[in-house]
A and B are shown apart, each in its own frame.
Chain A
Amino acid sequence: MKHYSAFAVAREALRSHTGWERAWRSPEPKKRYDVIIVGAGGHGLATAYYLGKNYGIQNVAIIEKGWLGGGNTGRNTTIIRSNYLQDPSAAIYEKSRSLYEHLSQDLNYNLMFSPRGVIMLAQTHHEVRGYQRTAHANALQGVPTEWIGPQRVKELVPIINLEGPRYPVLGGLWQERGGTARHDAVAWGYARACSAMGMDIIQKCEVTGVRQENGRVTGVDTTKGAIECEKLGIVVAGHSGQLAEMAGFRLPLEAVALQALVSEPIKPCMDVVVMANTVHGYMSQSDKGEMVIGGGTDGFNNYTQRGSFHHIEETVRALVETFPMISRLKMLRQWGGIVDMTGDRSPILSKTPLGNCFINGGWGTGGFKAIPGSGWGMAQLMATGHSPLTEAFSLDRFKEGRFIDESVAAGVAH
């Protein structure tokens, strides 16, 4: 892998950038791998990366139906935070956030992780108390967050309207080390690093069946033929249910469309990420200058990767109240992704009823921020059979009633 640096760019500039090598190879699948990961999104690639880096398991294939990073990794609103309420969530998201801090250096790929800070607005007394509770929990979980008053909110977000006639801003939960990263780059950075370790990323290859013998996985059937493996990781977000069906078990998941939109680019006017859960909307400004806006999920199941317009209306309306100046911006583009939701809105990182087959999914609306931590924990689980990061997120919890419900603190959004 050729090292990326300003020097390398300057050197290449002198030969018109003809010397850059491929960021990742495009190999044909081998007959057998130690580990196959289905799904070359952020979570799948990160899982593969830490399998190689932390456990020396490098005979790995990552199989992707479409193009790598093309699912929710490339469709989200790029927010990174770890101010979760419940212990298991705070643990995995904070692990993730702390890995993000150095990930650009680790992968030698600039992911533009920018800890610009995240505010979750409290606009009802109930929310005030909810976020104060989260702040207390976070202090004990080792997640630095802080309850801040309205004036501090205004200092951090000059374009905010504190005195909305409907929902005045009463304060917020502030995580200074939360922020954003460039979503595509996360997938690309991991892919490049995986490829450099000798792992095969096989794009445009759809898994059509899961092979098993005596209750253990033996490989997968794909549109490029059968491929054998010792262990299988299913990391396919919105299509987890289908893969599980191929592997012979069911998941407590449903798939819904989550939408987002961007405005046209304008000069910088908002440095921090603001989430307003009472009115269902969140917004940040990308480095390109677009206001990146997200809202809630559609209330019905589908796989279309597009959503209904009334949700866009609801979200924009809420944000016009919160940031009146966006009334005179224009929506450039709206899009949707398919998220898989569990009953408690927390993910599944787990062994499965099929031996040596593992699953990582159910991230719902909050997967992007979790990519490094999820990969870290999943790799540990797949390599060693146990990870404290993933333990609470096992499939058993639905049978036992051991839910990890974050909706307690955050009504909708991630």
Chain B
Amino acid sequence: MSTRLSKLGRLIDRTKQVSFSFNGTTMRGFAGDTLASALLANDQMMMGRSFKYHRPRGVVASGAEEPNALVGLGEGSRFEPNQRATTTELFEGLSAKSQNHWPNLDFDIGAVNTAFARFLPAGFYYKMFIHPQPFWKHVYEPFIRKSAGLGKAPDAETRDADTYEHFYAFTDVLIIGGGVAGLQAAKAAALTGVKVLLVEQTAHWGGRAPVDGGTIDEGPVDKFVEQIVSELETMDNVTMRLRCMGAGIYDHGYALAYERLTDHAPQVAGPRHRLWRIRAKQIVTATGAIERPLSFAGNDVPGVMLASAMRDYVVNWGVTPGERVVVATNNDDAYRTAITLKNAGVDVLRILDARASGGGALADEVRALGIRVDPGKAIAKVSGGKRVKKVSICNQEGIGGARDEVSCDAVAMSGGWSPVVHLWSHCGGKLIWDDAQAHFRPDPDRPPLGADGAGFVSVAGAANGALALGETLSDANAAGLAAAKAAGGKAKRPKAPLGESAAELPMEPVWLMPANADTPLRVKSWLDFQNDVKVSDVQLAAREGYESVEHTKRYTTLGMATDQGKLSNINGLAILADALNAEIPQVGTTTFRPPYTPISMGAIGGEARGEVFQPIRRTPLHDWHDRNGADWEPVGHWRRPYAYQLPGESVEAAVNREVKNTRENLGLLDASTLGKLIVKGPDAGRFLDMMYTNMMSTLKPGKCRYGLMCSENGFLIDDGVVARIDEDTWLCHTTTGGAERIHAHMEEWLQTEWWDWKVYVANVTEQYAQVAVVGPNARKVLEKLGGMDVSKEALPFMEWRDGQIGGFDCRAYRISFSGELSYEIAVAASRGQAFWDALTEAGKEFGVMPYGTECLHILRAEKGFIMIGDETDGTVIPQDLGLHWALSKKKEDYLGKRAQQRSHMADPDRWKLVGLETVDGSVLPDGAYAVGEGTNANGQRNMIGRVTSTYYSANLDRGIAMGLVKHGPDRMGEVIEIPGTDGKSYKAKIVDPVFFDKDGEKQNV
């Protein structure tokens, strides 16, 4: 059984008991425990079920690389699936549930898959479930979906109760990893005076060196760590963060770190996670190394654990995973585990060293402790269901004929160490194969390159393949110094501390145990514990031609589990290389992608959620609209009133009332959202002549002109009224949704093509409150307010004046988008509400009412005015809309001019703007198409046009529509057929698009 020892446990505080629950059972641990160590202390070795076969799974590692011990954590709106028990710090009241089983962890129906395992090899689903065709969706797939997945989905009905935040940091040197290497690199860098940010994913500085023993400057490692941490803490140029994982490295020195602020202390207020977005001149990854499992039959039985992890549990948390332990290894390091266990009072029954020559100095120490060492021996298989029962022993060089059996309850395995090269690789750093240590390590000659062509990432310590304590420290010292110099630090040469540890004999790679294991053993030798990928699966993939390491990964799912192959990848590709008769480096690795370990979506989203997901832009009149029955419509980032509902009134009725009132009396529209761009400078006129199809340079100050803007492909992208303010200043109105886009469009041309033109563009949209005063009584209300002369003579149509109305400084434009007598009056944004109030008050006797966007649309459609986004969709040119008059013929060029000369643009078959009236007066469906005879070569019904805008007009008491129709303007009076999706087919007559006041008498009064 696994149990708490009476001594050891450098990270736990035995005076502080913590109670928690696992699958509903209350258990106890100590402050400083991880969930995994606490579960082991409660003899809970089995912590989950595997993905495919639902096999029992025990904890196998002690850190971020853990593939098995995943639990659902928390409840309700704080529930989170797939949390690693090994990186979950214990807290009072923690509630964890194991995953992927039914009805419970001990007895799981899904485990029947194990019995059928031989029928479910890698990629079985590509070969089965093919017939009959409908069965995949309706029978097979639902079953597979149900048995796949790991944790439960979070609750969909409640929102995440926690909050998240983003941090921005700029530093000279970012050091990822706070083990002895990271600490020493940080010190070396910091001494040069550069800014250093040091992040460590666990809650402790020092990494695993304190567990592994040895001395630094002749003292214990713990003491060194304590000293260097306090030294760094006193330096102003050093920032240090625990529980902060380097998650990803991106181009241009960008790095992500993921800080878990309250996962270990949910009672603390504040954000749960913090995502650091870091720009660093240089990045040093001191991310250590991860021990590899050995591939032998039964290596997935709970109780089989990495040798280093077992050592961690004993030393850090005072927990032993078993009472009688067998160690299997191909290197000297695992002997440390045997020594640690033995000294802690745990029986170590046997060390099986696959190397024929056995171990070095550490082996002698082990023997002196009375532990039997068997060189050249291997595990033939581990027996046991939910817990290791015994180990069968064979020769490593053989097919697995068992010679001997040892009954035990835990197995420590070590297949050597792999540097954590993920972060190095994220942004293109390349690897080389180190034959001596049988692992990939960063190739210093091929680092990730910055914009200047020089490397911006380097590696320190074990992550660089420098595994022995002495090498680790000197390597880290050099790396920290080099990074600091590259980041502009002044050269100092801090001496590396002297690390000393027991001498080790070389490891010998063991990719399969025993070397020639026969098929029955290979089908039980796991590579990927979570996804249930075995040695036999990789060999099958190779046999079937899935030879690229990417093919093998995707075919077998090797390394695709939540640990992303941290334990399995190197072992898997060694098996693949062997199957292909190739060298491991020729086979290569799959791509390392961020994040290093999974990070919460909440943290990625940051603060921007709910109300602040995207800012809502508010006009100065927003609150008034809200108080006065506005039915809101999102338009770009704005909200605009669609209509103003009176109490008890439907939206439709409100729209009809507004439409009639504006034509008959007086309507007010909040037009503040319309884009307003100031274009200024000696070349402004020339520039606008290029931007607009019309001639803007000849416009006289005081005058307005309706302008069209096309893309370089000739398509109409925006329209609006342009006013010339003075000799070198124009004010361009854009559509509401177009302001930012058109501003960017102008800037793009100015910055990339006409960078030498003297023009400045400023978006002043929000500086003004603009009110359209519309209707037969428009002039009356303005005259009542008093001030500037707004008569026909003083302020003619398409002109503007600065002045005062009702005591408000304003700019009045005599323009109309409704065909009514109409003024648009701009006042300073801060005066908007007061001005609106004055208009509303003064307008009472003239029947004033506010109107919304739908009324605006209907009024303009009655007049046949086009609306960007309705009549245009990015494929329509001005010529399609009968807007030839707005295309200047005098100008040599404007954006879109040449494009509009292309053959298809001049094609007489293009669909052209017309009005459409249903024969029975009903309203045409929005977006419907008109059909012609027959079908095209692809069997599609031939179409001859489409409805672009369609409304009920209260003024005309009938449906009116605009549309684009093939040869439309030549077919006035013809009736065309427009099928709806409602099963009805509509008959519509082609008419002039101007439905109301064809001669424009109402507007020019």
Taking Cβ atoms with an 8 Å cutoff, the residues of A that contact B are 4-6, 8-10, 13, 16-18, 20-26, 66-70, 74, 87-88, 90-91, 95, 101-102, 104-105, 108-110, 112-116, 123-126, 129-130, 132-137, 139-142, 146-147, 158-159, 164-167, 179, 182, 184-185, 188-189, 203, 263-269, 285, 287-289, 304, 306, 308-309, 312-313, 316-321, 323-335, 343, 388-389, 391, 397, 399-403, 405, 407-408
Q: What 0/1 readout, one digit per residue, does chain B (564-576) give for beta carbons within 8 Å of chain A?
A: 1000000000000
List of A residues within 8 angstroms of B927 by Cβ: 129-130, 132-137
A23's contact among B546, B613, B979, by CB below 8 Å, is which?
Answer: B546
A292→B555 CA distance, assembly (Å): 18
* B residues near A317, Cβ cutoff 8 Å: 604-606, 608-609, 613
Is the CB–CB distance between B875 and A403 below 8 Å?
Answer: yes
Q: Mark contacts of B647-670 with chain A using CB atoms, 8 A cut-off: 1 yes-contact digit, 0 otherwise.
A: 000000000000000000000000
Our pick among B124, B543, B929 for the contact of A22 (Cβ within 8 Å) is: B543
CB-nearest residue of chain A relative to B547? A26
A407 contact set on B, CB distance < 8 A: 874
Using known A-B contacts A6-B128, A167-B634, A330-B600, determine if residue A306 contacts B875 with beta carbons closer than 8 Å.
no
Shortest beta-carbon distance from B209 to chain A in Å? 29
**A159 contacts across to B, CB distance below 8 A:** 153, 156
Max chain A C-beta neighbours (<10 A), residue from B155, B543, B938, B946: B938
> Can you list 19 A-B contacts (CB < 8 A)?
A5-B131, A17-B121, A25-B545, A26-B545, A87-B943, A125-B633, A135-B981, A142-B940, A158-B156, A166-B614, A288-B560, A289-B145, A304-B428, A309-B256, A313-B606, A328-B154, A329-B600, A334-B593, A389-B938
Contact of A165 among B141, B611, B714, B936 (CB under 8 A): B611
Is A124 a contact of B714 with CB atoms below 8 Å?
no
Pair B591/A335 contact, Cβ less than 8 Å: yes
The chain A residue with its CB closest to the CB of B610 is A165
In the complex the two chains form, is A264's CB within 8 Å of B150's CB?
yes
Partner of A139, one of B128, B875, B981: B981
Task: Knowing A22-B544, A141-B941, A329-B81 are in contact, say whether A136-B127 is a contact too (CB < 8 A).
Answer: no
A182 to B926, CA, bound (A): 37
Q: Which one of A17, A95, A110, A309 lies within 8 Å of B125 (CB-CB)?
A: A110
Q: A166-B613, A330-B600 are in contact. Are A266 and B548 (CB under 8 A)?
A: no
Shortest B450–chain A CB gap in Å is 13
User: Are A266 and B137 within 8 A (Cβ)?
Assistant: no
Tally of A-B residue pairs with Cβ under 8 A? Answer: 338
Q: A140-B941, A331-B604 in contact; A264/B82 too (CB < 8 A)?
A: yes
Closest to A8 in B: B127
Query: What string of 1s and 0s marks CB contacts (under 8 Å) between B135-179 and chain A?
Result: 011000100111011111111100110000000000000000000
Shortest Cβ gap from A113 to chain B (Å): 7
**Pick the contact of A267 from B79, B153, B545 — CB < 8 Å?**
B153
**CB <8 Å contact, B904 and A402:** yes
User: Would you call B926 and A133 a contact (CB within 8 A)?
Assistant: yes
Q: How far is the CA of A276 from the CA of B938 in the complex (A)?
A: 30
Closest A residue by C-beta to B543: A20
| Partner-binding segment picked from B246-254, B495-503, B954-962 | B246-254
The chain A residue sitting closest to B901, CB to CB, is A401
Whether A22 pairs with B545 at a CB distance below 8 angstroms is: yes
Once A104-B136, A308-B251 are accepted as A-B contacts, the answer to whether A328 and B156 lie under 8 Å apart by CB is no
Please list the 6 inter-chain residue pairs (A to B) with the smallest Cβ-Cβ separation, ordered nearest first.
Answer: A133-B927, A289-B149, A401-B902, A330-B598, A67-B548, A388-B937
Q: How far is the CB of B203 from chain A (nearest CB, A)?
A: 19
Q: A105 and B131: CB pair below 8 A? A: yes
CB pair A309–B248 under 8 Å, yes or no, is yes
Provide the bound-state CA to CA distance between A408 and B550, in Å.
37
The interface centre, meaning the residue of B133, B602, B900, B927 with most chain A CB atoms within 10 A of its CB, is B927
| Contact, CB under 8 Å: A104 / B133 | yes
Contact B153 A325 (CB under 8 A): yes
Residue pair A264, B937 in contact (C-beta under 8 Å): no
Q: A9 CA to B131 CA in the complex, in Å?
A: 14
Inter-chain contact A266/B153, CB cutoff 8 Å: yes
Contact of B159 with A327 in the complex, beta carbons under 8 Å: yes
- Nearest-neighbour CB distance to chain B for A282, whole angstroms, equals 15
B599 at the interface (CB under 8 A from A): yes
Assess the B940–A90 pair: CB atoms within 8 A: yes
Given the known interface contacts A266-B81, A309-B254, A331-B601, the answer about A325 and B141 at a Cβ–Cβ threshold of 8 Å is: no
User: Which residue in A4, A327, A328 is a CB contact (below 8 Å) of B130?
Assistant: A4
Taking a contact as CB atoms under 8 Å apart, the answer to whether A316 and B605 are in contact is yes
Q: A130-B927, A388-B936, A401-B903 are in contact. List 5 more A-B contacts (CB 8 A).
A: A16-B118, A164-B613, A267-B151, A328-B78, A334-B593
Q: Quick one: which of B540, B595, B940 contacts A331, CB cutoff 8 A?
A: B595
Given contacts A110-B125, A124-B634, A266-B153, contact A405 B601 (CB under 8 A): no
User: Is B899 engaged at the interface, CB distance under 8 Å to the other chain?
Assistant: yes
Q: Assess whether A287 is in contact with B141, with CB atoms less than 8 Å apart.
A: yes
Question: Which one of A289, A327, A399 contacts B605 once the chains associate, using CB atoms below 8 Å?
Answer: A327
B130/A110 in contact, CB under 8 A? yes
Q: Do the beta carbons of B82 and A266 come within 8 Å of each other?
A: yes
A320 vs B160: C-alpha distance in the bound complex, in angstroms?
A: 10
Inter-chain contacts of A123 with B (CB < 8 A): 634
Smallest CB-CB separation from B906: which chain A residue?
A401
User: Which residues 854-871 in B have Cβ within 8 Å of A in the complex?
Assistant: 869-870
Q: Are the CB atoms of B151 and A266 closer together than 8 Å?
A: yes
CA distance A267 to B101 in the complex (A): 11
Interface status of B32 (Cβ within 8 A of chain A): no
Q: Which residue on chain A has the smallest CB distance to residue B428?
A: A304
- Chain A residues contacting B107 (CB-CB under 8 Å) are none
Q: Is A343 in contact with B136, judged by CB distance below 8 angstroms?
A: no
**Nearest-Cβ distance from residue B691 to partner chain A, whole angstroms:** 20
The interface residues of chain A lying within 8 Å CB-to-CB of B155 are 325
How far apart are the CA atoms of A339 and B608 in the complex, in Å?
A: 29
Asked whether B204 is an interface residue with its Cβ less than 8 Å from the other chain, the reply is no
Q: From known contacts A289-B145, A316-B605, infer whether A16 and B938 are also in contact, taking CB-CB under 8 Å.
A: no
Contact B714 A401 (CB under 8 A): yes
Name which residue of chain B comes closest to A4, CB basis: B127
**Is the beta-carbon distance between A308 and B250 smaller than 8 angstroms?**
yes
* Contact yes or no, B124 A9, CB < 8 A: yes
When the two chains form their complex, are residues B149 and A400 in contact, meaning their CB atoms are under 8 A apart? no
Q: Which residues of B contact A388 (CB under 8 A)?
A: 936-938
Least Cβ distance of A381 to chain B in Å?
13
**B150 near A328 (CB under 8 angstroms)?**
no
